[in-house]
Amino acid sequence: LPGSGKTLVSPLLSSLKRTELLSYSFETEFICRLGALGKIDPDAVIAMIRMLIDHKMYEQMMGRNLNFRYSDLSSPFKAIKPLRYFRRIFQKGDEVVPELIRAQSPILNVAVHDMTRVCDYLFSALGARLVFVRVIRHPLLMLVQQFLNLERLLQNPRDIQVCFEYKEEQLPYFAYGWESKFCESNNIDRTIYSIEWMLRESEGARERLKPEHKKSFVQVPFEKLVIDPVPYIDEVAGLLQTEWTRETKKVMKKQKVPRANIFDGLDLPIYRRCGWEPPQSGLSEREEFLKRREFAIAQGATDSALAVLDGLCREYESKWQMEPTI
């Protein structure tokens, strides 16, 4: 989900042997959401996923359509071995690429948003080719970024997202099924209810997966990962049939994992823009959590929305054996 920590996990995976740099596939997201809304037949969704992923691999191995914007996290400038991607744009392409892919067996490293709820499409399309890594995080630690997303992007031309029409208004796909509640709520309540909806839908989809697909589905709780990342890296590496490289520990150090305090994250402009703040001196971890709950209250969260938020927190803490925050 937004704010879960995907951009911490993706560089760790990029350090594994044969794994490509972080990239995105928004087209895949859009198609799956349209399928979930009943606007595209399931067999067409599956066919499109296969084509898009193959096309992405083909172009990436040829150095075509890479993101060379310097400050972006998906830029080759941020890659472990940037020269690899610069060389590709000068090497032979087209006809030689399929053989190159067969010889090198590269692993695409694609970050997507809120796709657990439609992951059955991905597994149906890709089967054993897919290892699905679901990054999950305490609801209070996703709250600020998701609130800012709604504040800044809703009805904004920059929000290129699947929407639907409700009473002559454009609503985001995640409001489908609770439109009246969404329209009647303030933005902090919308944020809480959106997190609840995404989590419930995602968990239901995960439980419905076929047994063979569940074996390739990895859940990575952010709070556990940043304290002890090795078991999670090892699990994904095993499923991908790959291994650590000498760069893996360098990337761990760069990403500040393991860390003593889960709030002691990277201080990057993109993270600050998404609401991240350095931990406040003298505050315990529990007090840092409560500070985010106070943020919700300050933004006008209603009692009913706060009750939902508290319930989500208790569920998460119980499942992942965390100390209670509420």
Query: DSSP string of 285-322?
Result: HHHHHHHHHHHHHHTT--HHHHHHHHHHHHHHHHHTTP
Whole-structure pTM value: 0.93
Query: Which of the residue ranges 85-99, 145-159, 214-228, 229-243 would you say has the lowest mean pLDDT?
Result: 145-159
d(CA 159, CA 82): 30
Q: Residue length, the chain?
A: 326
d(CA 227, CA 261): 8
Task: Tokens for 303, please give them.
Answer: 């009692």
d(CA 262, CA 141): 10
**CA-to-CA dists, residue 280 to 13, 248, 255, angstroms:** 30, 30, 20
Whether the bond into 2 is cis, omega within 30 of 0: no
d(CA 270, CA 284): 25
Which residue is it, tokens 């990029």? 14
Task: Tokens for 44, please give them.
Answer: 């067409």
Under a CB-based contact definition with an 8 Å cutoff, are residues 232 and 258 in contact?
no
pLDDT-derived band at 156, boundaries 50, 70, 90: confident
- Answer yes or no: is pLDDT of 268 > 80: no
The confidence score (pLDDT) of residue 142 equals 96
Half-sphere exposure of 91 (CA within 13 A, CB side): 17
d(CA 189, CA 186): 5
Query: Which of the residue ranges 249-253, 271-275, 321-325 would you say has the lowest mean pLDDT?
Result: 271-275
d(CA 91, CA 74): 21
d(CA 27, CA 257): 32
Judge residue 324's burial from the number of C-beta atoms within 10 Å of its C-beta, 0-12 exposed, 13-18 middle, 19 or more buried: exposed
Judge residue 274's burial from the number of C-beta atoms within 10 Å of its C-beta, 0-12 exposed, 13-18 middle, 19 or more buried: middle
Under a CB-based contact definition with an 8 Å cutoff, are residues 261 and 25 in contact?
no
d(CA 272, CA 244): 30
Under a CB-based contact definition with an 8 Å cutoff, are residues 225 and 257 in contact?
yes
* CA 124 to chain centroid: 20
Q: What are the tens digits of pLDDT across the range 289-319? A: 999 999 999 999 999 999 999 999 999 999 9
Coil, helix or strand at residue 58: helix
Task: Tokens for 240, please give them.
Answer: 């991908």
The confidence score (pLDDT) of residue 271 equals 67
d(CA 145, CA 68): 25
The dihedrals phi and psi of 111, each to the nearest 5 degrees, come to -95, 130
The confidence score (pLDDT) of residue 174 equals 96
Query: Which of the residue ranges 131-135, 152-156, 284-288 would you say has the lowest mean pLDDT?
Result: 152-156
* Percent of the chain with pLDDT strictly greater than 70: 99
> What average pLDDT does range 85-112 have in this prediction?
94
pLDDT-derived band at 222, boundaries 50, 70, 90: very high
